[in-house]
Amino acid sequence: MYVLVSVLIIIASILLTLIVLVQNSKGGGLASNFSGSNQVMGVRKTADFLEKATWTLAVSLVVLSVVATMTIPRGEIEEKSKIEQQVNNAVDPTQMPQFPTSVPETEKPAEEN
């Protein structure tokens, strides 16, 4: 499911990029190429279509992103990461080393009488 949603996000992103590039910031773009007024999709209808397509793809991209976060595969979290294991097993550098506190007794030579 996560892979399907990810592919849909990529497709929506590519389509949104293409539609934004087709538009012109001055109000022209693809709509300015239609000079005839008797066409089925005139200048105004093309601009309306591009604007609606932009908003639809932007909203679908947000919705798909939220759905993707909900469908992320989550496995069992029993195994800790290597970094977490190293942190837990680390020696405290401020701790003093534990040395033997008593002096070991050496064997005394047997006293001869």
Over residues 71-111, the pLDDT tens digits come to 888 766 566 678 888 888 877 777 766 676 666 666 666 66
* Interatomic CA distance for residues 45 and 105, integer angstroms: 102
Q: Could you tell me if residue 97 is inside a domain?
A: no
* pTM across the whole model: 0.52
Beta-carbon-side half-sphere exposure of residue 11 (alpha carbons within 13 Å): 8
Q: Could you tell me if residue 26 is inside a domain?
A: no
Q: Could you tell me if residue 35 is inside a domain?
A: no
Question: In 10 A of CB 77, how many CB atoms?
Answer: 7
Q: Could you tell me if residue 53 is inside a domain?
A: yes
Q: Could you tell me if residue 54 is inside a domain?
A: yes
Amino acid present at 103 = V
Quick check: 34 pLDDT over 70?
no
**Which residue range is the domain that position 50 belongs to?**
1-15+43-72
Alpha helices, DSSP H, located in the chain: 2-22, 43-70, 82-89
Give the pLDDT confidence score for residue 56 in this predicted structure: 94
Give the pLDDT confidence score for residue 68 in this predicted structure: 92
- Could you give the number of structural domains in the chain? 1
Q: Could you tell me if residue 81 is inside a domain?
A: no
Q: Could you tell me if residue 33 is inside a domain?
A: no
Q: Could you tell me if residue 10 is inside a domain?
A: yes
Distance (Å) of CA 100 to CA 18, 29, 40, 109: 75, 84, 96, 24
Task: Say which residues have a Cβ less than 8 Å from residue 90's Cβ, sequence separation at least 6.
Answer: none
Taking residues 27-55, report their average pLDDT.
Answer: 65
46 closest CA partner among 60, 34, 54: 34
